[in-house]
Structure 1
C-alpha cells in the first residue's frame, strides 16, 4: 500500500497538472469506486462538474483536492473563495491517479474519469485506475482544524481539513508538526516503539516499510517500550523517519510492482536503497561496513513483518510488541 512518500509524489504531480483547473465533466465507469460517496454516482458527478480544484492537500497518507465554485485566484489567494468541500482520493492498495490525453486508450482498470478545462501543453483528463478496487473517490466536507493550523501540506495552506482525515495526527514532513506534543503522547502509550509509530493518532504517514527503515537508522528495536525512551532517542527515531521519507520522496517513492506509480505512470525506485525492510537473510549494511557479520532478521509483527539487525538493533529485555 502506498505510504506517505508515495502519496506526496502524487500530490506534487497533481499540483502541477490540476490546480486551478475546472472539472468540466465526470465519467463514473465503475460505481464501486465511488461507493464512499453516500448519495451515489450521480450526486458525486454533480458535485464535481463545474467546480475548480483550488489546491491539493496531504496529511499523512490522506489526499484531497479542495473545490470552489469559481475559478481559483492562484496569483492572489486572498481573493479566492474559501472551499467548503473537497474531492477525497483514497488510493488503497492499487489506486492510481493518472494524467492522460483524450487520445490515450482507456486503461483496463479505469474506474473514474475527470475531464478538465484545457491548459496549453497539459493533458486534459485525470483518470482514477484501480485494479483491486480497495481505493476510491468521494466528495467530503472541509472542517476547521482543531489546532487552527493548516490542514496539511499544500501550496496555499488553509486551517481546513477533510472530515475523514480530522482524526489523524500530523506527519513528520508537516511544518506544523510538534515534537514536544509527539514525545508527550509517545511516553504515555506504554507500548512497543514500532506499534506507536504505526499509530496514526500519534504520528501519521509512517507505514510498515518506513518504520523499519527509520528504526534501523536510529539503531532502535521495534519492541523498545515507549515509556522508557529518552527524549534524545525519540528525537533520533523521528528525525530518522523524516530523513528516510525525504530520501524516498527524492527517489519517487518505493515501488515493488507496477501498482504504485506517479501521475505520469512512472514507478519509484527507493526499494533499491532499503537497508532493513525485505532484506531478511542479507548482511546488515552498517555492520558489514564495520567488518561485523550480522544478518537482517524478520519477525512476525501485527500480521505483518518487522526487519531488524540483531547486532546494531538489539532486542530489549522488557520489550513490548
Structure 2
C-alpha cells in the first residue's frame, strides 16, 4: 500500500492544484468507498457541496482536505479566492488502502472504448469509485481496484500537543478519525529520542514497532525493511534489546530513506501507486533490501534473504543484519552445603 512518501507526493499534487477550489459536485459510483461515512452519501454530500478546499494535510499515511465556506457574499460559487474563508469544522478524510489513488483530471469524460490496463494496475475508467467536481471543471477521482480505501467526513479536534497537526496543516486541528495516529518521521514536531525510548520499553520485534502507527506513523513494509537495512538492525530484534543510540539511529536512517524516496516520487512497482497525474515514482530502482531476495547486498555482497513476517515478507542481509543475541542468563547457585 502507499506509504508516507507516496501519500506525500499525492498531497503535494493536490495542494498545488486543488487548494482554493470549491467542490461543486459529488459522484458516487461505488458506495463501498463510503462505508466509513456515517449517514452515507447524503451526509457526505451535505458536507462537501459548496465547500472550499482550504488545505491538503497529511499525517503518516492519512490524508485529509480541510474545508471552508465556499460561496461568496452574494451567494455565487467562489472562484477560489472570494469566500470569507470560515472553516466548516470538518475535513474530508482520504485513506488509500492497498490500491487507492487520487487522480486529478481536467474533468473530461473517459473514453468508454479505452482498453483496460494490463496487469495489476488500477484502471482509471473501470476502478473509478468516487469523484469530486471542482469549480474550475477539474475533478478529483478516487480510483481503487481492491476497495480497501475510502472517503469520509470527520470533525476537527485539537491535537493533544497543540502543535501543527501534520504536513500542510495551518494549525493544531486534525480529524477525529486521525487522532489516534502518531506523528511521522518527517514531521518537524516529532520527538525522535522519545519515540526511541518508547520502542525500548517494548519486547515486540523492532519491525512490528516500526509498523505500529500509534507509535510512529507512515512506515510500511517497504521502508521498514530499507530503514532496518540502513541501520544494520534485523527485523526480529526485540525493541527492549536496542540501545538508545541504535534505536535513535534506526529512526533517523528510516527517515533518510523516506526523504530520498520522496525526492524521486516514491516507490512504484505495479502502478497501483501513481501520483495525481498518473505518473509512477522511481525509488524502486534504489532499494537496497526490499524485494531483492537472492541479489547481492549493496554493502557486503551477501545475497539478500526473504522470510515471512506477520503475514508479510521481510528482506534482510544475513551478514550486515545479525540475529539478536539472546539475553544472558544469570548463573544459578548450587545447593548449599
Question: TM-score if structure 2 supplies the norm length?
Answer: 0.87
String of CA shifts for 1:233-267, please: whole Å, max 9, x gaps.
11211111111101111111111112111000111
- Using a 3 Å threshold, how does the CA distance of structure 1 residues 132 and 217 change in structure 2: closer, same or farther? same
Q: Out of 114, 118, 124, which is 2:132 matched to?
A: 114
Aligned to 1:60: 60
Aligned to 1:130: 144
Where do 1:178-189 residues align within 5 Å? 178-189=191-202
Would the aligned equivalents of 1:21 and 1:53 in 2 still touch at CA under 8 Å? yes
Does residue 103 in structure 1 map to residue 108 in structure 2? yes
Unaligned 5+ runs, structure 1 = 289-293
Superposed displacement of residue 74, structure 1: 9.2
Superposed displacement of residue 223, structure 1: 1.6
Superposed displacement of residue 73, structure 1: 12
Superposed displacement of residue 70, structure 1: 3.5
Would the aligned equivalents of 2:199 and 2:240 in 1 still touch at CA under 8 Å? yes
Where do 4+ consecutive residues of structure 1 move more than 6 Å? 71-75
CA distance in 2, matches of 1:73, 1:238: 43
Q: Out of 309, 312, 315, which is 2:317 matched to?
A: 309
- Using a 3 Å threshold, how does the CA distance of structure 1 residues 31 and 176 change in structure 2: closer, same or farther? same
Q: Out of 319, 326, 330, which is 1:318 matched to?
A: 326
Where do 1:154-303 residues align within 5 Å? 154=168, 156-288=169-301, 294-303=302-311
String of CA shifts for 1:77-102, please: whole Å, max 9, x gaps.
xx842441000111111111111112
CA RMSD of aligned residues (A): 2.0
Would the aligned equivalents of 2:23 and 2:51 in 1 still touch at CA under 8 Å? yes
String of CA shifts for 1:120-175, please: whole Å, max 9, x gaps.
xxx61111111111111111111111111111111x53111111111121000001
CA distance in 1, matches of 2:107, 2:196: 50
Question: TM-score if structure 1 supplies the norm length?
Answer: 0.91
Does residue 45 in structure 1 map to residue 45 in structure 2? yes
The structure with the greater share of residues assigned to helix is 1
